[in-house]
């Protein structure tokens, strides 16, 4: 910079430099984020966002909620079944709730339940880790027996013509018992000699089974995102299921976590992570959505387990009744939501 005499005006240059330095200092002090309120400053490749998969187009939602959610009255609801009323197991009890939310019956258990079934006569069968307990209609304990495998966690029970089928999520096996507690056979054993006897992949304790009207047992293989049809003597018939976070698939380590079969033979599946309840037809073709995160009032990020104790408890359970209504047990809010098909 020169003045009229052509000499460099060093004083002016120094002044400008000092002024710029002061402005930069002020800006950096003002913009300094010591509390992290302005974000982490990481580029987009470091961001994790799956919320787009939780957004479900309204035209895909083919069910609607009926009434208000019914509180279970439990601190930790676990499983749901329907037979002339809603049965929910949790804490150390089983409660029967009517459609208006009143508790009609309560059965006290010796330990926390891990699965539940109710037969046509109102007999209640409860799994608690490796133990099955059968209560008669009045809630009186009738029988109790322990499954043969060590460290078993029974995650699902179904009833079929007087026999009890229960799924063991730790050992990946399904035991078939009569009501006296005698083991009839075991389904799903891994056999390296047989190509289709690959066993199940069960990363977390969700391993559900359901009996279909065609007489075949349906078993969720959550690690492979498949539902497999088995004969009751253990022959694997066919599978369906697609791995994808999109609405027609199952994703994550282990989904679906629970399922139920509607009177028309179609499947109701509940997923964790991307909290969704969906319908697939009897052949496994995607039909529509019962409820997504918005309908299930899921708040906050789509996370299944922040804390170690949560990874066994946040999968929603589903049950159906003879009219096709779907009952969703919200294991986080401890409520039951009832859904009906839209007209």
Under the rule (CB under 8 A), what is the footprint of other proteins?
Answer: 33-36, 39-42, 45-48, 50, 53, 198, 201, 203-204, 223-225, 243-246, 251-255, 272-274, 301-311
The vertex-320 CA angle with 235 and 158, nearest 5°, equals: 35
In whole angstroms, give the CA distance from residue 262 to residue 326.
8
Rounded to the nearest whole angstrom, what is the least distance from the CB of residue 159 to other proteins in the complex? 29
Q: Which is nearer to other proteins, 2 or 35 (CB)?
A: 35
In whole angstroms, give the CA distance from residue 286 to residue 247.
9
In whole angstroms, give the CA distance from residue 270 to residue 255.
8
Contact 337, 80 (CB under 8 A): no
Contact 325, 263 (CB under 8 A): no
Q: Which is nearer to other proteins, 29 or 42 (CB)?
A: 42
Rounded to the nearest whole angstrom, what is the least distance from the CB of residue 294 to other proteins in the complex? 17
Q: Which is nearer to other proteins, 30 or 307 (CB)?
A: 307
In whole angstroms, give the CA distance from residue 275 to residue 271.
5
Rounded to the nearest whole angstrom, what is the least distance from the CB of residue 41 to other proteins in the complex? 5
Rounded to the nearest whole angstrom, what is the least distance from the CB of residue 33 to other proteins in the complex? 7
Q: Which is nearer to other proteins, 145 or 240 (CB)?
A: 240
Residue 95, strand partner residues? 88, 106
Question: At a CB cut-off of 8 Å and minimum separation 6, what does 40 contact?
Answer: 46
Residue 108, strand partner residues? 93
Per the listing, tokens 């190509």 go with 195
Rounded to the nearest whole angstrom, what is the least distance from the CB of residue 116 to other proteins in the complex? 23
Q: Which is nearer to other proteins, 169 or 232 (CB)?
A: 169
Rounded to the nearest whole angstrom, what is the least distance from the CB of residue 266 to other proteins in the complex? 25
Q: Which is nearer to other proteins, 46 or 182 (CB)?
A: 46
């Amino acid at each position: 910079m020169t003045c009229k005499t052509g000499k460099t005006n060093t004083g002016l240059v120094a002044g400008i430099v000092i002024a710029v330095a002061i402005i930069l200092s002020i800006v950096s002090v003002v913009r300094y984020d010591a509390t992290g309120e302005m974000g982490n400053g990481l580029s987009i490749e470091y961001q994790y966002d799956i919320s787009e998969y939780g957004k479900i187009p309204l035209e895909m939602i083919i069910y609607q909620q009926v009434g208000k959610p019914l509180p279970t009255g439990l601190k930790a609801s676990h499983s749901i079944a329907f037979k002339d009323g809603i049965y929910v197991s949790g804490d150390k009890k089983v409660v029967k709730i009517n459609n208006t939310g009143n508790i009609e019956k309560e059965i006290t258990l010796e330990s926390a339940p891990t699965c539940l079934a109710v037969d046509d006569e109102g007999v209640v069968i409860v799994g608690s880790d490796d133990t099955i307990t059968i209560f008669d209609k009045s809630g009186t304990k009738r029988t109790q027996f322990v499954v043969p495998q060590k460290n078993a966690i029974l995650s699902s029970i179904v009833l079929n013509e007087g026999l009890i089928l229960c799924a063991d999520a730790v050992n990946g096996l399904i035991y078939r018992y009569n009501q006296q507690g005698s083991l009839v056979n075991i389904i799903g054993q891994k056999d390296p000699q047989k190509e289709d006897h690959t066993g199940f992949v069960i990363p977390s304790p969700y391993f559900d089974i359901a009996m279909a009207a065609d007489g075949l047992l349906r078993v969720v293989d959550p690690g492979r995102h498949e539902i497999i049809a088995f004969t009751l003597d253990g022959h694997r018939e066919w599978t369906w299921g697609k791995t994808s976070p999109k609405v027609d698939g199952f994703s994550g380590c282990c989904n679906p976590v629970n399922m139920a079969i509607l009177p028309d033979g179609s499947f109701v599946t509940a997923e964790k992570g991307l909290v969704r309840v969906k319908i697939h037809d009897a052949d496994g073709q995607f039909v529509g959505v019962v409820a997504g995160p918005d309908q299930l009032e899921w708040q906050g990020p789509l996370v299944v387990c922040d804390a170690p104790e949560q990874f066994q408890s946040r999968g929603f359970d589903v049950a159906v009744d003879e009219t096709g209504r779907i009952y969703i047990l919200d294991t986080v809010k401890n409520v039951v939501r009832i859904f009906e098909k839209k007209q």
